[in-house]
Amino acid sequence: MDIIVSAPGKVILHGEHSVVYGKPAIAASLNLRSYIHLTPTNDGKVSVNLPSLHLKQSWEITDLEKIAALNNDSPDEVMKMIIELVEKNSDLHGSKTQACSTFLYLYIAICGRNRMSSSMKIQLYSKLPIGAGLGSSASFSVCLATALLLNQNMISDELTVEDRKLIESWSFQGERIIHGNPSGIDNAVATYGGAIRFQSGEILPLQNIPKLRILLVSTGVPRSTKTLVANVRDKYNRLHNIMTPVLEAMASLTVECEKLFVKMSSGDESCTLNFTALEEMIDMNQHLLQTIGVSHPELDKICDITKKYGLHSKLTGAGGGGCAFTLLTPNLKEETLNSVIQELKAEGFHCFETDVGTSGVLIETEPPEKIF
Ligand SMILES: Nc1ncnc2c1ncn2[C@@H]1O[C@H](COP(=O)(O)OP(=O)(O)O)[C@@H](O)[C@H]1O
Ligand SMILES: C[C@@](O)(CCOP(=O)(O)O)CC(=O)O
Ligand SMILES: [Mg+2]
């Protein structure tokens, strides 16, 4: 039976990078989603079509069975063989290698548990920009894990709490292949949706979050989360005593922001003073993120432009390019918003206003081919 699932991207409000060091972070899902369409076949192959990467690739089940036979004995050996198999195609580099290795790893781990006999075609479509800090990798991993688990009847169509736990843990394995050392926040938001507070694998859904309007601004500068996280780790190892209080300050910002959200949702949500405090926190975090070396001249430029209009922005996700978000306050005039968007566009940035806090992973009925 065909399986169609979708999962959202995310925006991290506070706590990117520090979350990798066990500090709390707050993130919310975005209404930009990835979709997977899995079709069982009987051609003895596993085929993927990844239009976002202009990539179509297939592998013989017999080759994958040889790797699956090693599964329990040596996970490192499995990964080595997967990479060798992927790199047999010399056209595959960077993001394509990451995507194929993640797919094959999850396929072998989930479908190779019993006897591997699942020949299938997988198509993945996404509204998310790839490598822009909006969690495309997690949305990809969550879609893959869900579709493969459904194919193996390891979860039910209802996507119960237990099912989602399983999806979350498999998608984390996918993120590990793409990122190296992910915190797990992105795949948690993509699985559960809404807004969450995340710390060391603990996920707390945030019910008390005010309605926030944000503008996402993309620099168009490509970057890799894996590289940025590794650079921060290097700084952390070399300049431990300096980095530690900076990461602590990021943690305190998350905690204070969460307190403010609770206060706002139990009182006057649109109170100007609360928004001023939120804006102050956004500025402070952007400066801390600059300090740890993950901003970019184009991200700084977005902050400078929006500041001229009285608006406050920070990078979101791993930084180094990718996206920033700007908080749109309730009393913001539409003409001011239009002017700031116009200036950002004139500087070559791409702007989109989005809803946050949408559903997590979903089983769909419409084939994504109809949407894209
Ligand atoms: N639609 C997609 N199709 C194929 N691969 C994808 C897709 N979305 C994400 N990926 C994988 O995720 C990687 C980008 O992840 P990452 O660097 O973490 O950035 P992001 O901020 O978008 O999550 C890509 O290199 C690719 O391997
Ligand atoms: C930098 C980090 O905190 C978030 C990365 O998000 P993204 O891949 O840039 O969307 C890394 C992580 O939490 O694993
Ligand atoms: Mg990612």
Q: Which residues contact 123 (CB under 8 A, 6 or more apart)?
A: 36, 37, 39, 48, 49, 51, 368, 369
pLDDT for the residue 114:
63
Q: From ligand 1's centre to the CA of 131, what distance in Å? A: 6
Rounded CA-CA distance 80/74 in Å is 10
End-to-end CA distance of the chain, in Å?
22
Ligand 1 atom nearest 129 alpha carbon = 22
Whether 39 and 175 have beta carbons less than 8 Å apart is answered as no
Q: From ligand 1's centre to the CA of 133, what distance in Å? A: 10
- Assessment of whether the complete model's pTM goes beyond 0.90: yes
Rounded CA-CA distance 303/309 in Å is 10
CA torsion angle for 248, 253, 256, 262 (degrees, to 10)? -130
Tell me the β-bridge partners of 6: 35, 362
Q: Which helix (H) or strand (E) holds 4?
A: strand 3-14
Task: Indicate if ligand 1 lies below 6 Å from the C-beta of 286.
Answer: no
CA-nearest residue for atom 13, ligand 2, is 183
Q: Which ligand is nearest to the CA of 30?
A: 2
pLDDT for the residue 294:
98
Q: From ligand 3's centre to the CA of 138, what distance in Å? A: 6
pLDDT of the chain, 372 residues: tens digit per residue: 999 999 999 999 999 999 999 999 999 999 999 999 999 999 999 999 999 999 999 999 999 988 888 766 677 788 888 988 888 876 667 888 999 999 999 999 999 866 666 899 999 999 999 999 999 999 999 999 999 999 999 999 999 999 999 999 999 999 999 988 899 999 999 999 999 999 999 999 998 788 889 999 999 999 999 999 999 999 999 999 999 999 999 999 999 999 999 998 887 777 888 999 999 999 999 999 999 999 999 999 999 999 999 999 999 999 999 999 999 999 999 999 999 999 999 999 999 988 789 999 999 998 888 878
Q: What residues have their beta carbon closer than 5 A to ion ligand 3?
A: 137, 225
CA-nearest residue for atom 9, ligand 2, is 133
Q: Is the ipTM of this complex over 0.90?
A: yes
Task: Indicate if ligand 2 lies below 6 Å from the C-beta of 16.
Answer: yes
Reduced to 3 states (helix: H, G, I; strand: E, B; else coil), residue 197 is: strand
Q: From ligand 2's centre to the CA of 96, what distance in Å? A: 19
Tell me the β-bridge partners of 196: 27, 205
Residues annotated as catalytic (active site), given as ranges: 137, 186
Using the structure block, give the residue that is written with the tokens 């908080």: 327
- Of 224, 220, 55, residue with least CA distance to 131: 224
Locate 356 and state its tokens.
Answer: 């946050």
Whether 326 and 312 have beta carbons less than 8 Å apart is answered as yes
CA-nearest residue for atom 20, ligand 1, is 131
pLDDT for the residue 354:
85
Using the structure block, give the residue that is written with the tokens 């995340």: 198
CA-nearest residue for atom 10, ligand 1, is 137
Residue ranges covered by each domain of the chain:
3-207, 212-356
Q: From ligand 2's centre to the CA of 226, what distance in Å? A: 8
Rounded CA-CA distance 346/8 in Å is 29
Is 212-356 a domain of CATH 2.60.40.10? no
pLDDT for the residue 116:
60
Ligand 2 atom nearest 179 alpha carbon = 14
Q: How would DSSP label each residue in 264-326?
A: HHHS-TT-HHHHHHHHHHHHHHHHHHHHTT---HHHHHHHHHHHHTT-EEEE-TT-SSSEEEE
Task: Indicate if ligand 2 lies below 6 Å from the C-beta of 174.
Answer: no
Whether 112 and 75 have beta carbons less than 8 Å apart is answered as no
Task: Give, in words, the CATH class of 3-207.
Answer: alpha beta
Tell me the β-bridge partners of 27: 12, 196
**181 backbone dihedrals φ, ψ, rounded to 5°:** -135, 70
